[in-house]
A and B are shown apart, each in its own frame.
Chain A
Amino acid sequence: MEAPKQFQIDLGNLMAFDCYHLFPSLPSSREELVKECLLKGTELVQAIADTLFNLPSTEDLDGPLVKLPPPTTKLPRSKHLPKPKPPTKWEEFAKKRGIKNRKKDKILYDEQTGTWKRRHGYDRVNDDNDVPIIEAKMTDVPGEDPFAKRQADKKKRVEKQEKNRFQNLREAAKVGALPSNVQLAARALPITGTQAAPKKVSKEELGSVAGMAATATASGGKFDKKLPGEKPARREGKFRKFLPVAEGSGMGSQERLQTQEVLNKLISKNSHEILNINKAVNMYNGKKEKKWRNQQGKSSSTSSKLKPTKKPLKKPFKKGSSNKGSSKKGKST
């Protein structure tokens, strides 16, 4: 320790740095290197300790306490400096008008109940629930419930305050001085006016849009070059298949069955409201008679495929009620 001035000592970090040390000849074996490093290290640590133990100390139960100077080696912060909060609209206004905050008592005398009560919060003075009579005024609109009006007014005031608060927070967020416990999250807006609210696109939606774009080539994206790490495109959306409209057996009759099924479902759901039993019975009887009469008249009916099948197709559009009846009939029997 012939010259401790050689070292740079940062007492705040308990760090010493010997910037002049050069190994005269690099030690050949590792043991020697370690030994030499430890020797030099001891010297440096001793140099720190020399200054450290000479600092004024106070005795404590656990040992002597020393007040360290702030570190001289500058290291970066982990987060930015906190930014000052911009004044709210009210604070600006109050400053302009010279309005100062006065302290108000927490407890007030309530004349209605004759007791002392809190100014705000639960069981407070002039609580809406405690007001039995509101005196009429000249300005009152006849036919209006004063109690309901009082409540509505209060609700409006609360809403207005909430709006103001939000506005002030948004101003603070612009500067980046939002309080740590507040987050402003995006929210869908109830649509007013023409401008749609900018909606945050979800991951799913993005994926499906990208999938659509990827398949918008003649080959349906089959021969497109893939980027490294690109996943196969998500193919979202419905792939509708239409049944053949031409009537027939097998596949041809499915279209009819499908529509019939839907209709049945619809009708049976609130059938108890629709079905007029008397009428249905009458219709059923009438049809039976008609059929019987027809059979009596011409025993052989045409067996062509088109004719009988065309009838029910038209029927649902023109005569809904009869069809309903008939379908019901089909079920009940």
Chain B
Amino acid sequence: MMNIKTPKKGRVRRELEKRAPKLVENGKKTLILQGIKTSSVLNAVLTQIYHLKRDSAVRYTRKNENIRPFESGGETSLEFFSLKTDCSLFVFGSHSKKRPDNLIMGRTYDHHIYDLVEVGVENFKTTESFTYDRKLAPKVGSKPFFAFIGEGFESVEELKHLKEVLLDLFRGEVVENLNLAGLDRAYICTAVSSNRVYFTHCALRLKKSGKIVPRMELVEVGPSMDLVVRRHRLPNDDLRKEAMKTAREQPKKKVKNVSEDAVQGKIGKIYIPDQQVGDMALPNKAKGVKRERREAKNKKGANEHISKKLKEDSNNAG
């Protein structure tokens, strides 16, 4: 027998609704974590990636001895964390003699591992080591430009895969409306050799060119590193097919107050709030002024005597 469990609080219900599968998904969140041993380079890499994706990332700083994404049984804990934090991208750092400065990037589908790419980090340079105008520093969560250079990204299987993962990892949210004034960063990835990719993060400087399109200028702000591809695992075809499904038609937003009529055509309803005549601000209506005086003032003080008389009358009455 089963029990129906529903959240008791609205906040929890709303949170669950956010996590539910949707036709049009919200942006992917990233989980950044490490294995039992890391190097100082790797620590810096993970932190910098976290700072790049600050708005949509979760950083775990504890050691995880049970996570070995490529081995069977080593993904259980990772999948659990993915479910817990609702992240569908992960970056996992580990350091060993065999694979120094190892970075595993991967994606999950339905909180199960979808694909994996393992890279080694070399020639790492932090943001702090670059000198540039701080005004240029990209804002958190801005939509980046992406440039992939080199034929390796098409001909070599591993690099092709890496390109897709990098794009998914750093592209940020899919937006419909883009503010052109907010463009301030670009990621440049160059396939240097068949297994090495030079990855760098640049700030943008828009310069006037006399035309509509401003002249772009890139200023390297870091982090920059060489990614040496080691192992990778592609999803199997069935899984890929299922994960690539998209909704045929976009969900329509309900249009309120507009209706179609056969004769009149499109009809719109406009709601106007009640006129609050009693509360309307009147000229010369101060709180302290008594009604008689106010009225008298309204009569422009032409016959001041009458008003005084009125006042006396009212006093007598009271």
A binds B: yes
> B149 contacts the other chain (Cβ, under 8 Å)?
yes
B108 neighbours in A (Cβ, 8 Å): 78
B192 neighbours in A (Cβ, 8 Å): 23, 26, 33
A19-B154, A26-B192 as given contacts; A45 in contact with B147, CB under 8 Å? yes
> B55 contacts the other chain (Cβ, under 8 Å)?
no
> B171 contacts the other chain (Cβ, under 8 Å)?
yes
> B220 contacts the other chain (Cβ, under 8 Å)?
yes
A50-69, CB < 8 A from B? 50, 52-54, 57, 60, 62-68
B176 neighbours in A (Cβ, 8 Å): 67-68
Which one of A34-42, A144-152, A278-286 is at the interface?
Answer: A34-42
Q: Report the bound CA distance from A23 to B193 in whole Å.
A: 10
**CB atoms of A68 and B178 under 8 A apart:** yes
A107 neighbours in B (Cβ, 8 Å): none
B91-150, CB < 8 A from A? 107-111, 114, 123, 143-150
A18-B150, A65-B178, A166-B2 as given contacts; A45 in contact with B200, CB under 8 Å? no
A14-B144, A79-B110, A81-B247 as given contacts; A185 in contact with B5, CB under 8 Å? yes
Closest to A83 in B: B21
**CB atoms of A16 and B146 under 8 A apart:** yes
**CB atoms of B213 and A14 under 8 A apart:** no
> B291 contacts the other chain (Cβ, under 8 Å)?
no
**CB atoms of A37 and B179 under 8 A apart:** no
A37-B198, A38-B188, A81-B23 as given contacts; A189 in contact with B1, CB under 8 Å? yes
Which one of B33-41, B236-244, B254-262 is at the interface?
Answer: B236-244
* Nearest CB of chain A from residue B61's CB, rounded to whole Å: 24
A34-B220, A53-B214, A185-B3 provided; 8 other pairs, C-beta below 8 A? A14-B171, A18-B147, A45-B218, A46-B215, A62-B182, A68-B178, A183-B6, A185-B2
B227-275, CB < 8 A from A? 235, 240, 242-247
Which one of B11-19, B279-287, B297-305 is at the interface?
Answer: B11-19
* Residues of A in contact with B, size category: 35 or more
| A and B contact pairs by CB, cutoff 8 A, 26 listed | A13-B146, A13-B171, A14-B144, A15-B171, A18-B148, A19-B150, A22-B150, A33-B192, A52-B180, A53-B212, A62-B182, A67-B177, A68-B178, A75-B167, A75-B168, A77-B25, A77-B244, A79-B88, A80-B109, A180-B16, A181-B6, A181-B17, A184-B2, A185-B2, A187-B3, A197-B1
Q: Report the bound CA distance from A260 to B30 in whole Å.
A: 68
Closest to B115 in A: A76
B21 neighbours in A (Cβ, 8 Å): 79-82
> B151 contacts the other chain (Cβ, under 8 Å)?
yes
A292-310, CB < 8 A from B? none
**CB atoms of B180 and A22 under 8 A apart:** no
A42-B217, A65-B179, A76-B107 as given contacts; A37 in contact with B149, CB under 8 Å? yes
- Name the residue in A12, A46, A54, A169 with the highest tally of chain B Cβ atoms < 10 Å from its Cβ: A46
**CB atoms of B114 and A76 under 8 A apart:** yes
Closest to A70 in B: B174
Closest to B193 in A: A26
A38-B188, A64-B180 as given contacts; A78 in contact with B28, CB under 8 Å? yes
> B288 contacts the other chain (Cβ, under 8 Å)?
no
From A17, A65, A169, B148 is in contact (CB under 8 Å) with A17
Q: Report the bound CA distance from A184 to B28 in whole Å.
A: 27
From B13, B168, B180, A66 is in contact (CB under 8 Å) with B180
A33 neighbours in B (Cβ, 8 Å): 190, 192, 198
| A-contact bits for B188-226, CB 8 A (1 contact / 0 none) | 101011000010101010000000111111101000100
B277 neighbours in A (Cβ, 8 Å): none
**CB atoms of B200 and A44 under 8 A apart:** no
* Nearest CB of chain A from residue B274's CB, rounded to whole Å: 22
**CB atoms of B7 and A79 under 8 A apart:** no
> B46 contacts the other chain (Cβ, under 8 Å)?
no
Residues of chain B at interface, number, CB under 8 A: 76
A79-B109, A184-B2 as given contacts; A41 in contact with B188, CB under 8 Å? yes
> A49 contacts the other chain (Cβ, under 8 Å)?
yes
A189 neighbours in B (Cβ, 8 Å): 1
| A-contact bits for B151-192, CB 8 A (1 contact / 0 none) | 101100000000110011001001111111110001010101
> B22 contacts the other chain (Cβ, under 8 Å)?
yes
B217 neighbours in A (Cβ, 8 Å): 42
A73-109, CB < 8 A from B? 73-82
> B4 contacts the other chain (Cβ, under 8 Å)?
yes
> A21 contacts the other chain (Cβ, under 8 Å)?
yes
A81 neighbours in B (Cβ, 8 Å): 21, 23, 245, 247
* Nearest CB of chain B from residue A167's CB, rounded to whole Å: 11
**CB atoms of A170 and B2 under 8 A apart:** yes
A74 neighbours in B (Cβ, 8 Å): 244
**CB atoms of B25 and A49 under 8 A apart:** no
**CB atoms of B147 and A16 under 8 A apart:** yes
**CB atoms of B20 and A68 under 8 A apart:** no
Closest to A166 in B: B4
* Nearest CB of chain A from residue B276's CB, rounded to whole Å: 27
B180 neighbours in A (Cβ, 8 Å): 52-53, 57, 63-66
> A131 contacts the other chain (Cβ, under 8 Å)?
no
* Nearest CB of chain A from residue B238's CB, rounded to whole Å: 13
From B146, B181, B213, A64 is in contact (CB under 8 Å) with B181
Q: Report the bound CA distance from A42 to B171 in whole Å.
A: 18
Q: Report the bound CA distance from A47 to B143 in whole Å.
A: 17
* Nearest CB of chain B from residue A17's CB, rounded to whole Å: 4
Shortest 9 CB-CB contacts between residues of A and residues of B: A63-B181, A180-B20, A78-B88, A76-B243, A41-B188, A15-B146, A44-B147, A79-B21, A183-B5
> A48 contacts the other chain (Cβ, under 8 Å)?
yes
Q: Report the bound CA distance from A23 to B111 in whole Å.
A: 40
Q: Report the bound CA distance from A281 to B245 in whole Å.
A: 92
